[in-house]
């Protein structure tokens, strides 16, 4: 992360959902939620497992595997 304005994430398997306030990524270490303001995907390369995000980053949260089902339920309700 550079200055809370630019973020490069490795180990990304899949982008579950995203909008200008939140990205939900499946990574090799579990699900990662990136929250912020005016977020944009700058680069996506799933072959290399790389996602680059720009915007104002407020929060990075890893969700445990046990919480993964709860997180999916929570996020699926948000993005209906």
Give percent above pLDDT 70 in the chain.
80
- In this predicted structure, the answer to whether residue 48 has a pLDDT above a threshold of 80 is yes
pLDDT mean over 33-56: 96
Task: Kindly tell me the sign of the dihedral angle through the C-alpha atoms of 73, 78, 52, 36.
Answer: negative
Q: Yes or no: is domain 6-64 CATH 2.60.40.2000? A: yes
**Burial class of 36 by CB neighbour count within 10 A (0 to 12, 13 to 18, 19+):** buried
Q: State the pLDDT at residue 76.
A: 59
Question: Phi and psi for 52 in degrees, rounded to 5?
Answer: -115, 130
Q: State the pLDDT at residue 38.
A: 97
Beta strands in 1-80 (DSSP E): 6-9, 12-18, 22-27, 30-45, 50-63
How far apart are alpha carbons 22 and 2 in whole angstroms? 18
Domain locations in the chain? 6-64
Q: State the pLDDT at residue 16.
A: 93
pLDDT mean over 39-64: 94
């Amino acid at each position: 992360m550079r200055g809370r304005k630019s973020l490069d994430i490795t180990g990304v398997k899949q982008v579950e959902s995203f909008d200008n306030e939140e990205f939900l990524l499946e990574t090799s270490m579990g699900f990662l939620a990136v929250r912020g303001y005016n977020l944009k995907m700058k680069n996506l390369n799933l072959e290399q497992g790389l996602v680059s995000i720009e915007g104002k980053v407020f929060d990075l949260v890893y969700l445990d595997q046990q919480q993964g089902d709860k997180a999916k339920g929570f996020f699926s309700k948000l993005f209906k």
